[in-house]
Structure 1
Amino acid sequence: MTAGHILRGPALLFCPGDRPDRFAKAVAAADTVILDLEDAVGPDRKSAARDAVVDALPGLDPAAVLVRINAPGTPWYDDDVRALAAHPEVAVMVPMAARAADVEALAPHPVVALCETARGVLAAPEIAAAAGCAGLMWGSEDLVADLGGRAGRSPGGGYRPAVEQARTRILYAARAAGVPPIDTVLVDIDDLETLRSDSADAVAAGFAAKACIHPAQVAVVREAFRPTAAEVAHARAMLDAAEEHAGGVFRLGGRMVDAPLLAHAREVLRQAAP
């Protein structure tokens, strides 16, 4: 699995590692399932969750799952890494990523690095460029806690400047390294309007996907990332016109069209593909 193939679609879904009864349903519901050995599992269930995930992996499509292990330096990290050694093709999500070595230590697994501390956000360019990095995600809740903040959002609903800056830095670092940037979860499961707004903003900014914590969030994320029929039609018209102009700058519908707009049109069609 390469960086370009780490995501099958825009909606990732976390699933507790100690709930194997949910694994198949989660895989069917989302584009990529993150089998979670970290936050979704209590300390007394870590071993059981690890065993359940390892037992289930042979029956799951490795392109459809990630496994979020426990963070480096925790009591469970080494056991998680050893347990997954028999499945080198399975992608791993490493939480609390703070340096390139956190990615490189997990070779040969493809790694999605989760930057959710001030140190991790500042080191994002080096982390994204590390050998084996296949994606970069940011985590809002842990980041706010690490910053000593009280809330990541302003009263109006958007992210506060310090948090928005971290989000933007992750986007830039991922795109500069050529790996997909993944937007953080929304922990308020019932607030689908904020999720819709966050998702629309994420795709407009350039994020490749967004993580979910409940199946009800998946459809909202997919809808936000899916180009509209009008956007698809315009992209096709633009690319068709480009062929007639042999790749040069031209005018279409009163607008100048050049290479960046054509690149955007190709991305729209890629996102619209089934």
Structure 2
Amino acid sequence: MIFEMGPALLFCPGDRPDRFTKAAERADAVILDLEDAVAASAKDAARAAIAGADLDPARTIVRVNAIDEGVLAADLDAARSAGITTIMLAKTESARQLDALEGFAVVALCETAAGVVHALDVAAHPSVVALMWGAEDLVASIGGSSSRDETGAYRAVATHARSHVLLAAAACGKRAIDAIRTDIADLDGCRAEALDAAGSGFFAKAAIHPSHVAPIREAFAPSADEAAWAQRVLAAADAQPGVFSFEGRMVDEPILRHARTVRARAASSPLRTQQDTTTDVPRAPEEAS
């Protein structure tokens, strides 16, 4: 399954088949984009490229256009032709929209006011495996001009949407994906956002450039000290059930659940530190940001 592969999901324009394999090799999963990363005049070419893609379906998502664009059938046909079964629906706004995606596992992208407000209903839909949020389209949908303030921090409405989408996904037992960072050169900012995402409960973070893959992986992989602590405290819990004191700290079930999460991440996401230095910058999609 997509989300067992690792936390770094890399967008790739659907009309750049020369980058498909490269993107898949550099990230834990690739998102082939048919929406904003592709000009209207290139949509058909992008569908043809995706239909002929030779990628691992377990590590590939196709982002399809919003329902009201009227091209969903063509987008889905392209994914089916490539054997891809996981779809990201741009601008998801209601659970009812998801009925048109029967047969696909769906990542619902909540990036408008309606999408965020209805995130709980969307997450409850049986086809949905994950929610993702996006800041720029959200702010645009409510008449704003920027998702961040003069310090570079998200505005309150964006942080509210981020938290709401995360909680809606968790309430329905689904995964949550953190939005991209649009500043490609700011690797420290990407790492800081990914650290917060991992600590808050997101299972992955999306990226629009391969240079962000390493900071995301590093952020989601527990440090050696964190992994060792998790192993120690869980071993101690086996010997003394119930609340107990461990290394000067009170330990109860919530703390043990934190430790199990750390242990699981340490097992499934080994620290990968190689830094991609490519200067071939893909066109950044305006969504999912």
Deviation of 1:86 after TM superposition, in Å, equals 4.7
Aligned pairs for 1:173-212 (under 5 A) are 173-212=168-207
Aligned counterpart, 2:273? none
Q: Distance in 2 between matches of 1:29 and 1:84?
A: 21
Structure 1 residue aligned with 2:72: 77
Per-residue CA shift, 1:169-197, capped at 9, x if unaligned?
A: 00000111111100001111111122122
Q: Is the contact made by 2:57 and 2:83 (CA closer than 8 Å) also made in structure 1? A: no
- The structural deviation recorded for 1:85 is 4.1
User: How many pairs align?
Assistant: 268
TM-score (norm 2): 0.89
Corresponding letter in the other structure for 1:37: L
Residue from 156, 170, 176 that aligns with 1:161: 156
8 A contact 1:88–1:108 mirrored in 2:
no
TM-score, reference length from structure 1: 0.94
Q: 1:10 aligns with which of 3, 7, 10?
A: 7
Q: How does 1:31-180 map to 2 (within 5 A)?
A: 31-56=28-53, 59-86=54-81, 90-180=85-175
SS at match of 1:217: helix
- In the other structure, the counterpart of 2:238 is 243
Percent identical among aligned pairs is 49
Give, in whole Å, the separation in 1 of the partners of 2:191 and 2:81.
39
Q: Are positions 1:271 and 2:243 aligned together?
A: no
How far, CA to CA, are the matches of 1:94 and 1:76 in structure 2? 12
Report if aligned partners of 2:52, 2:82 keep a CA contact under 8 Å in 1: no
Say whether residues 1:21 and 2:15 are aligned partners: no
Find the aligned partners of 1:144 and 1:45 in 2 and give their Cα distance. Answer: 27
C-alpha distance in 2 between matches for 1:126 and 1:95: 16
Q: Please tell me the residue identity of whatever aligns with 2:13.
A: P
CA distance in 2, matches of 1:103, 1:271: 30
Deviation string 1:53-98 (CA, Å, 9 cap, x unpaired) is 0111xx2111110000111011422311233345665200000000
Aligned equivalents of 2:84 and 2:104: distance in 1?
6
Letter in structure 1 aligned against 2:77: R
8 Å CA contact 1:37–1:49 kept in 2: the answer is yes
Secondary structure of residue in 2 paired with 1:196: helix
Q: Any idea what SS the aligned residue of 1:99 has?
A: coil
Contact kept in structure 1, 2:3 and 2:203, CA below 8 Å: no
**Partner SS state of residue 52, structure 2:** helix
CA contact (8 A) 1:200 1:224 kept: yes
Query: Bigger shift: 200-209 or 34-43?
Result: 200-209
Q: RMSD across aligned C-alpha pairs, in angstroms?
A: 1.4
Q: Which sections of structure 2, spanning at least 5 residues, go unmatched?
A: 271-289
Distance 1:237 1:199, change over 3 A: same
- Structure-2 change in CA distance of 1:219 and 1:138 (3 Å): same
Asked if the contact 2:52/2:81 (under 8 Å) is kept, the reply is no
- Of residues 224, 230, 233, the one that matches 1:229 is 224
Q: Which piece of structure 1 moves more, 67-76 or 25-34? A: 67-76
Distance 1:45 1:75 in 2: 16
Measured after TM superposition, the shift of residue 105 of structure 1 is 1.6
Contact 2:63–2:87 under 8 Å retained in 1: yes
Moved more, 113-122 or 76-85: 76-85
Task: Quote the offset at 1:219 in angstroms.
Answer: 0.5
- What is the one-letter code of the residue matched to 1:68? R
Query: How much does 1:7 deviate?
Result: 4.6
C-alpha distance in 2 between matches for 1:235 and 1:103: 39
Query: C-alpha distance in 2, partners of 1:212/1:85?
Result: 24
The 8 Å contact of residues 238 and 265 in structure 1, kept in 2 or not, is answered as yes
| CA distance in structure 1 between the partners assigned to 2:212 and 2:226 by the alignment | 23
Q: Between the two structures, name the one with larger relative contact order (CA 8 Å, sep ≥ 6).
A: 2
Query: Is the 1:6–1:63 Cα contact (8 Å) retained in structure 2?
Result: no
More moved, 214-223 vs 191-200: 191-200
